Amino acid sequence: MRAAIAVLAPHVADQIAAGEVVERPASVVKELIENALDAGATTIRVEIEDGGKSLIRVSDDGAGMSRADAELALSRHATSKIREAADLIGVATFGFRGEALPAIASVSRFELETSSDGEAATRLRVTGGKREHVEDAARQVGTTVTVRGLFFNTPARRKFLRAQATETRAAVEVVTLLALTRPDVAFTLTSDDRPLIDVRPTTRPIDRIHALWGPGLADTLLPIAHREGPLEVRGFAQRPAQAKPAGRKGYVFVRGRPIRDPFILRAAEAGYRSTIAPGDRPSLILFLELPGDAVDVNVHPSKLEVRFRDKFFVEKVVEESVRAALGPLAAAAPLGVGGQVPGVGGSWTGLGVDPPAGASPELFPSGSLTPDTRHLTPLLQVFDTYIVFQTESGVAIVDQHSAHERVLYERAMRQLTGDGAPAQRLLLPLTIEFTAPELEAIDAHRELLRRVGYEVEPFSGRAVVVHTAPNPHPRFDAARCFGELVADLAGGRFGGLANRLERFAATYACRAAIKAGQRLEPDEMRELVARLLTASLPAHDVHGRPTVVQLPKDELERRFGRT
């Protein structure tokens, strides 16, 4: 028999609302810190005990409240942030629903102490949603909220809380996220009297990252600063060489609000294509700023999700932003201490490294160098593998194979999407035998092979005839490169790249590039460096390895005791 419909009792409705806002102790910490930030706090102190299950206390030096406002703040949907539905468009504050305090108070032993002038202060106590009493107190300007015995009156929910260590980690994550949004505010977090977070105000976001996680992460990050139309993307992307399969940090903030959006992170990771190995996950910290009417923040009770008016545009700009951050040679891996090499931008000024004007498409053609590139700072090849030279800010070391691989990859991509590459006809065509899977790979990639310079036709049985071949450098072994290229294509290598053209170009570039151990002439070294500096992503090869590492002059002087 169907039960009759009835209106829920207020205390039951409050507990249901609390379930939407308060999932665990970390949810309380989040709501209270956001209130403090909205109140203009410059210092926020958080204390928890037993992972927040026994005690949560958040103190701030914000604007505080009068007694009348403090009492009203514990009523559902009481808020100073909005007055009508239209105010939801472009709301810039963290809180605006007016549900957090009454929801928290309905499932805890709650105390609010606040003062708006430093003279008169108010203390309110609420137990399980029932207001007990209001009294005078002594307090400086600001607010302190104390929450004890979270879910004491809803034991079914309390038993689903996790272990103390797990709840503590969740609280640390919340404070970390909000500390990232406001580097100008001081944050402290203590757990059972043990300090876990203590960060001072700073004007530079990278300093806040350094304070939260140390140089191990901060020194691997590159700044992002990109704008397209109404969308501005700022933040940090990790150097490809430091990306790892696990342990990455991925954070997205929209209009200063931390959100969960795996699609934005996926778009950012797409900006790394052809610079990291398959399976590696770079750390990303992204701040998106766009007009209020372009994003709806009122789609989740805990404000953890947003809805973009043009989601595809946002994802496209995020990808381009990361791509642009990886482009300058400042993205090259540094040697020694410190993550940034001063004075290094998109090119090494003063090196005389300019692309050879009107040069042949081949990398080392005779006479292709211009006078500008002939007057490079002296280059030295060591171990027949690395090219070493001086820059304005230190010493650069180029891996000749990785550098050539990057140059050939970008050239191959242009050839594969254009008219193809010039090829030389072989005086004696190559006849090579392959396995059945390799023959299938040749057939599937025949047109792409032609575009990079290989003209191939079946011969008999398992053999094919190669009539033309590319000539990317004088030491190029056409038969060996073709055999290795086909084997890689048949074996599915480079499967982590986004599309078939990228996989093919990466495979070809890897096999066609000059090898470690091959001696280069001075003009060839200059040509290679010149070509690398004009690549769109010069700092990393298609495997995610660095093409260049830099030793700052300051580090050299430190090592030799000159500073």
Phi/psi region, residue 161 (left: phi>0; alpha: psi -120 to 50; beta: rest), is beta
Question: What's the CA gap between 182 and 203, in Å, rounded?
Answer: 10
> What would the pLDDT profile of 486-530 be if each residue is shown by its tens digit?
998 888 765 555 577 888 888 899 999 999 999 999 889 999 998
> Is 352 among the domain residues?
no
381 shares its domain with 309: no
Same domain, 185 and 223: no
Q: What's the pLDDT score for residue 349?
A: 46
Q: 513 and 541 share a domain?
A: yes
- Would residue 354 count as lying in a domain? no
C-alpha of 329 from chain center: 18
Final residue in a domain of this structure, among 150, 167, 198 = 198
Q: Which residues, including other chains, have CB under 8 Å from residue 557's CB and lie 6 or more apart?
A: 563
CA distance 77 to 94: 15
Domain shared by 101 and 55, yes or no: yes
User: Residue 6 contacts by C-beta under 8 Å, 6 or more apart in sequence?
Assistant: none
With tokens 């800010």, the residue in question is 393
As a whole number of angstroms, the longest Cα–Cα distance in the chain is 100
Report whether 544 contacts 276 (CB < 8 A). yes
CATH at residue 317: 3.30.230.10
Amino acid 273: pLDDT? 85
Q: How far is CA 428 from CA 40, 407, 478, 485, in A?
A: 79, 29, 12, 20
Which letter does DSSP use for residue 28 in this model?
H
- Asked if the structure places residue 53 within a domain, the reply is yes
469 and 450 in contact (C-beta within 8 Å)?
no
Q: In a 10 Å sphere around its CB, with 0-12 CB exposed, 13-18 middle and 19+ buried, how is residue 234 labelled?
A: middle
Give the closest residue to 122 by CA, choosing from 132, 130, 111, 114.
Answer: 114
Q: Is 251 helix (H, G, I), strand (E, B) or coil?
A: strand
One domain, residues 194 and 291 = no
Do 183 and 256 lie in one domain? The reply is: no
Q: Residues 154-194: pLDDT tens digits?
A: 888 899 999 999 999 999 999 999 999 999 999 999 999 99
Q: 540, 241 in Cβ contact below 8 A?
A: yes
Contact of 473 with 514, CB cutoff 8 Å: yes
Structure tokens of 181? 């949004």
CA separation for the pair 102, 11 (Å, rounded):
11
Q: What is the CATH number of the domain that holds 530?
A: 3.30.1370.100
Residue 168 lies in a domain: yes
Model's pTM, two decimal places?
0.81
The end-to-end CA distance of the chain, in Å, is 86
The tokens describing 379, both together, are 């280059």
Residue range of the domain that includes 542 = 371-551
- Tell me phi and psi for residue 189, to 5 degrees: -135, 125
Among candidate residues 266, 300, 326, the one where a domain is terminated: 326
Half-sphere exposure of 12 (CA within 13 A, CB side): 4
Q: Is residue 75 part of a domain?
A: yes
Structure tokens at 534: 């004009």
Same domain, 194 and 230: no
Residue the block writes with tokens 């190029």: 476
Produce one character per residue of 20-53: b if its CB has 16 or more CB atoms within 10 Å, e if not. Answer: ebbbbbbbbbbbbbbbbbbbebebbbbbbbbbbb
331 domain-assigned: no
d(CA 421, CA 444): 19
Q: What DSSP line would sit under 367-416, residue for residue?
A: T---HHHHTPSPEEEETTTEEEEEETTEEEEEEHHHHHHHHHHHHHHHHH
pLDDT at 338: 47
Provide the CA 431 distance to its chain's centre, in angstroms: 48
Per the structure, the count of domains in the chain is: 3
In a domain, 360, yes or no: no
My answer on whether 232 and 191 are in the same domain is no
Domain check: are 184 and 246 in the same one? Answer: no
Question: Is there a contact between 521 and 400 (Cβ–Cβ < 8 Å)?
Answer: no
Phi-psi region of 458 (alpha: psi -120 to 50; beta: other; left: phi over 0): beta
Q: Which of 404, 402, 377, 399 is nearest to 390 (CA)?
A: 377
What CATH number is associated with residue 37? 3.30.565.10
- Residues 176 and 239 reside in one and the same domain: no
Question: Is 3 inside a domain boundary?
Answer: no
Q: Of 334, 233, 333, which is closest to residue 284 (Cα–Cα)?
A: 233
Beta-bridge partner residues of 396: 389, 550
pLDDT of residue 366: 44
| Sole residue written with tokens 């505080």 | 64
Q: Judge contact between 542 and 509, C-beta under 8 A.
A: yes
Q: Which residue is associated with the tokens 């495997």?
A: 543
- The stretches in the chain having pLDDT less than 50 are 6-8, 15-16, 18-19, 81-92, 95-98, 337-353, 355-361, 366-375
What pLDDT score does 221 carry? 93
Q: CB atoms < 10 A from the CB of 229, how many?
A: 10
Quick one: 192 and 247 in the same domain? no
Are 268 and 157 in a shared domain?
no
Residue at a domain's end among 143, 163, 198: 198
